[in-house]
Structure formats: C-alpha cells, structure tokens
C-alpha cells in the first residue's frame, strides 16, 4: 500500500524532539499564546520575509481575520478563484461580503490576471489569490491591478509556505498572507493551526486584537472580535518541524522532477512550474484523461490518490444563489474533471514512485 500521505513516517524521524517539545509545554502550563507561540510567530514571519506574524486557530481563521482586518464587510465584493478549497470563499461570505469568481490559468491552476479587471465593480474591496498546490500566483500582474483600483490583496498561502515568486517568498507580496498548519500541509501541526503574516504593523495589531475577542487587554473590548488563538502545544510542534521545512520542500521538488521523468510518455499532463517561480509541491497534481477510472485502477493496485477539487466552488449548492451557470468558468470546470494528486511527501521512495508511474502507464496502455 502506498498512501497519498504518510504522516507517521515523518513523526517517527522526529519523535524524540516532538515529544520533548510537548512535554516542555505541559510542564510550563502556558497553553495559550505562550512563549512557544511568540517564538513561532517571529520565526515564521522571518521565514516568509515579513515583519510580523500572528498565530491563529486555523488557516480558515487566518483568512477570516485578514478579511476583517482590512475592513471587508456587508455589501463588499472580493475576487477569488472558484478552483480551491471552499474555505477561501466561505470566509468572504462570513464577512457578509460576496465572493466574485474569476477563471484560472490552465497550467498553474491559479487566477488569470487578464480576467480580473472585468470582474471589478465599485463594490470590490479585495482580491484573494490562492497559491494552489504550492505554485505561486502571478503576483506582479495581480498587484498592478489591485494598485490601480485601490484594492487589498490577501494571499492564501495555505498550500505554499516557502514557495518563491521572482525570488521572494509568497505571503510577502500582498497586504496580508495567510498560512495553514493543518496536519497535511508542508509544515503541519498535530491539529488545526494557522498564521497571518504581514509587513504592516497596523494590520498585524488589528489581527492580534481580533483573535483576542476584540480587545488589546483582557476584559477590555474595542471591536467585535473572535476567539482564535494558536495553541502553545501546536506552536511547540511547529517550532521543531520548522527546522526541517526547507529540506522537506527541496525533497518534494526532487520527487516532482522524478515523477516528471517517469510520467513523461504515459498520457498525463505533469505539473507546470513557471521559470520565475519556485513550486513547493504541496500536491503533485497531474491532469489525467479518464481520471475517475484511473483512480479506481490505482486503488486496486493499493495506491492512494486524491481529487482536489471535484466540484468548483461556483457550482456548489452553497453558492447557487450567485447564479453562475455551468461553463461560467470552463478552465476551472475542466480542472475539476481532470486534476488528480498523486502521493507526495518527503519520505516517498524512488521504488514507490516507480510503482506509481508503472501503474499509471499500465492503465493507459490498456485503453
């Protein structure tokens, strides 16, 4: 059996350090916003080439608090992609705003900047690009459009910590960058966790206040806030793992290149990496003809795979009221029918990759 992700293999290599870090927090009894959180905030901000980091309860909350911090509210519109995890759109809706979708680039799966201008209205407040699967969005073009229209840019970096665009880390381009530490991520906690990174001190302070029920100090609320704090236990685990992140990302890139060679002539489209980008391959996602049949074939061979995302957001029942008919965003809809993520984690072996590639080749040869 080759799983799509093996979290146990990673833990086994770090077990002594992880267990010691957890024990340290247990003995300290500083479980909420303790020194481990402050240390992680500083380290992640530096890693992302930002001045400030604010730990929150999840990647979803990072987006929700970021939108609130820039003032997105009822009546506003926020432009984003229909081909991503539902949380990106849900957090916009939770602010009382309306998500406005723009189609994606067929190679990168990220927002097409060329289509954004026509989606802007007087109600547009922000753009939320998603660096999907670990490949950076086209930030230069997005920032130019945002600046011309006075819009905020909130980067959804949930899948892309460590990725680079023209040499700079994602999360450092927009007004705010949002990270997820969900266990499956390149830097994953052992539960939920997230962080906001920014170079704007006022926005960092606003997010800090929002995560503490809207007050700078306990029992003194200035604004309507949330309870969204990163646990010290999760921060301690992440502080251990952060030392390994660069190496893990490089291993993912090596595995991706090996996959590219193995899958070169088997009938699938391998992931694209733009020359100005450093892809961190949170997912190694191919485009596969007869995708669902291939999934069933791999399952019979004991090989895991994952479909992200089988129904684009604009066609979800939740957003039926937005009245986007089928074929509104044809590139996203085609991606939903073709995209397939193969096993990808630093502990994946060359022999496992060869078995995966051979199984895919066998599937298409039989067709």
pLDDT in tens, the chain (367 residues): 999 999 999 999 999 999 999 999 999 999 999 999 999 999 999 999 999 999 999 999 999 999 999 999 999 999 999 999 999 999 999 999 999 999 999 999 999 999 999 999 999 999 999 999 999 999 999 999 999 999 999 999 999 999 999 999 999 999 999 999 999 999 999 999 999 999 999 999 999 999 999 888 888 888 899 999 999 999 999 999 999 999 999 999 999 999 999 999 999 999 999 999 999 999 999 999 999 999 999 999 999 999 999 999 999 999 999 999 999 999 999 999 999 999 999 999 999 999 999 999 999 998 7
Chosen domain end from 189, 209, 242: 242
Going from the C-alpha of 209 to that of each of 39, 53, 59, 216, 354, the distances in angstroms are 19, 13, 17, 5, 50
Is residue 235 located within the same domain as residue 255? no
- Domain range for 334 is 245-365
Which residue stretches of the chain are H helix? 7-28, 35-47, 59-69, 87-94, 139-149, 201-211, 232-242, 245-262, 291-300, 330-338, 350-365
Q: Which DSSP state fits 222? A: S
Domain count of the fold of the chain: 2
Together in a domain, 65 and 129: yes
Could you tell me if 202 and 152 lie in one domain? yes
193-244 pLDDT tens trace? 999 999 999 999 999 999 999 888 888 888 899 999 999 999 999 999 999 9
Q: Report which of 200, 218, 245, 211 is spatially closest to residue 58, judged by C-alpha positions.
A: 211
Q: Are residues 28 and 129 in the same domain?
A: yes
Asked if 238 and 117 sit in the same domain, the reply is: yes
Domain shared by 59 and 187, yes or no: yes
Q: What does the alpha-carbon distance between residue 37 and residue 57 come to, in Å, rounded to a whole number?
A: 11
Same domain for 153 and 116, yes or no, is yes
CATH number at residue 256: 3.90.1150.10
For residues 257 and 279, state if they share a domain. yes
Provide CB contacts within 8 A for 48, sequence distance 6+: 157, 161, 169, 170, 171, 172, 177, 179, 197
Contact 294, 271 (CB under 8 A): no
Domain stop point among 182, 211, 242: 242
Whether 2 is covered by a domain: the verdict is no
The last residue of one of the domains, among 172, 207, 242, is 242
3-state secondary structure of 246: helix
Instruction: Give the predicted TM-score (pTM) of the model.
Output: 0.96
- Of 214, 209, 183, 186, nearest to 196 by C-alpha is 209
338 shares a domain with 321: yes
* Position 287 in a domain: yes
């Amino acid at each position: 059996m080759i799983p799509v992700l093996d979290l146990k293999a990673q833990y086994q290599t770090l077990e002594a350090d992880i267990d010691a870090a957890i024990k340290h927090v247990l003995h300290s009894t500083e479980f909420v916003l303790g020194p481990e959180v402050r240390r992680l905030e500083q380290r992640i901000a530096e890693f992302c080439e930002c001045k400030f980091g604010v730990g929150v309860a999840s990647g979803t909350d990072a987006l929700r608090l970021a939108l609130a911090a820039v003032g997105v509210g009822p009546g506003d519109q926020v432009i984003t992609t229909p081909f991503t995890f539902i949380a990106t759109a849900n957090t916009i809706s939770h602010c009382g705003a309306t998500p406005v979708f723009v189609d994606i680039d067929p190679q990168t799966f990220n927002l097409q900047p060329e289509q954004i201008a026509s989606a802007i209205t007087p109600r547009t407040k922000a753009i939320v690009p998603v660096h999907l699967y670990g490949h950076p969005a086209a930030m230069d073009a997005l920032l130019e459009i945002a600046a011309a229209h006075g819009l905020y840019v909130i980067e959804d970096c949930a899948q892309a910590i460590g990725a680079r665009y023209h040499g700079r880390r994602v999360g450092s381009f927009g007004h705010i960058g949002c990270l997820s530490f969900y266990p499956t991520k390149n830097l994953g906690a052992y539960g939920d966790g997230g962080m906001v990174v920014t170079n704007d001190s006022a926005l960092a302070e606003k997010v800090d206040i929002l995560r503490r029920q809207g007050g700078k100090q306990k029992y003194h609320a200035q604004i309507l806030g949330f309870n969204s704090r990163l646990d010290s236990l999760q921060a301690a685990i992440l502080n251990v793992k952060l030392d390994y992140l660069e190496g893990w990302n490089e291993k993912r890139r090596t595995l991706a290149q090996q996959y590219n060679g193995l899958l070169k002539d088997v009938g699938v489209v391998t992931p694209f990496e733009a020359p100005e980008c450093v892809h961190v391959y949170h997912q190694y996602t191919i485009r596969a003809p007869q995708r669902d049949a291939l999934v069933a074939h791999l399952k019979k061979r004991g090989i895991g795979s994952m479909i992200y995302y089988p129904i684009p957001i604009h066609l979800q029942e939740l957003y039926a009221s937005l009245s986007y008919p089928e074929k509104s965003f044809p590139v996203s809809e085609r991606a939903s029918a073709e995209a397939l993520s193969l096993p990808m984690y630093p502990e994946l072996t060359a022999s496992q990759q060869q078995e995966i590639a051979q199984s895919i080749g066998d599937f298409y040869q039989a067709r």
